[in-house]
Amino acid sequence: MKRVVILISGRGSNMQAILEAKLPVEITAVISNRPEAKGLEIAAQHGIQTVVVDHRKHPSRGQFDAALAEKIDSFQPDLVVLAGFMRILTEDFVNRYQGRLINIHPALLPAFPGLDTHEKALQEGVRIHGCTVHFVTPTVDHGPIISQAAVPVLPSDTPDTLAARVLEQEHLIYPEAIRWFAEGRLHLEQNRVEMNILQASTYSLRSPWSA
Ligand code: NHR
Ligand code: GAR
């Protein structure tokens, strides 16, 4: 079975969805850059080894990333999963895990990279928003896309209600993408992901939709 290490910074709901999806992978560790991350307790409850690499204890990004990489490598993972991990990673770190480092971003990339994506989506007045699973490259939130899920933006939305609607989709598409990786169905070709899956539906989401 493929070995997976999950990196978190906070609540850990995506991590939890991955743990509860009972994927055919071995989750060997959950690592947080914040000792107070709630997700650490959830991981421990699932019997998963937890580790803290506190970024505040390292004087530079490079030194933090080196300490993080050393910890990760001690678990010999085939895949490293960023699940609400909130530290930008250096080029050296990203290159070390090329093709085996993935992230979920709460927007339909390439729209709204970076932080506060739901605020930005409401500000722009987009009618459709969502989330993206992608391979990580040194350019933040710009790596080859594996999958996306879209949701409507409603006139009554606040950043919180929109975030909740997107999060529900994150919990569906992230475990699924990891399953595809584990099954060897994802292949990086240039800067795109070729997928060996059957895709049957041509369903469209329109927003607004007036009944
Ligand atoms: N690193 C690289 N090189 N490439 C990516 O695509 C990355 C990455 C690290 C994290 C997740 C990303 C997201 O999905 C991610 C993708 C944090 C920030 C950020 O600005 C930006 C994007 C993402 C995660 N972080 C601040 C920093 O200075 C700290 C913010 C905080 O601690 O709350 O690192 O959105
Ligand atoms: C998720 O919405 C995730 O997409 C986002 O933070 C939330 C983490 O929630 N990630 C980023 O914004 C990365 N910069 P979780 O800890 O409950 O999975």
What pLDDT, on the 0 to 100 scale, is given for residue 157?
Answer: 98
What tokens appear for 43 in the block?
Answer: 């991981």
What pLDDT, on the 0 to 100 scale, is given for residue 190?
Answer: 87
Ligand 2 atom 5, closest CA: 84
| Shortest-distance atom of ligand 1 to CA 136 | 6
Contact 99, 188 (CB under 8 A): yes
Per-residue pLDDT tens over the stretch 171-200: 999 999 999 999 999 999 989 999 999 988
Ligand 1 centroid to Cα of residue 84, in Å, is 9
147 forms beta bridges with 133
Mean pLDDT (the chain, rounded): 97
What pLDDT, on the 0 to 100 scale, is given for residue 211?
Answer: 80
Tally DSSP H helices, then E strands, for the chain.
6, 9
- For tokens 């990086």, the residue is 188
What pairing do the DSSP bridges indicate for beta strands 145-152 and 128-135?
antiparallel
Ligand 2 atom 1, closest CA: 84
Q: What is the pTM of this model?
A: 0.97
- Rounded distance between C-alpha atoms, residue 104 and residue 18, angstroms: 12
Ligand 1 centroid to Cα of residue 104, in Å, is 11
Active site residues: 105
Domains of the chain: 1-97 (3.40.50.170), 104-205 (3.40.50.170)
What pLDDT, on the 0 to 100 scale, is given for residue 122?
Answer: 98
Q: Is the CB of 120 under 6 A from ligand 1?
A: no
The closest ligand to the CA of 167 turns out to be 2
What tokens appear for 163 in the block?
Answer: 């975030």
Ligand 2: which residues within 6 Å by Cβ? 8, 10-14, 39, 83-84, 86, 104-106, 167, 170
The closest ligand to the CA of 141 turns out to be 1
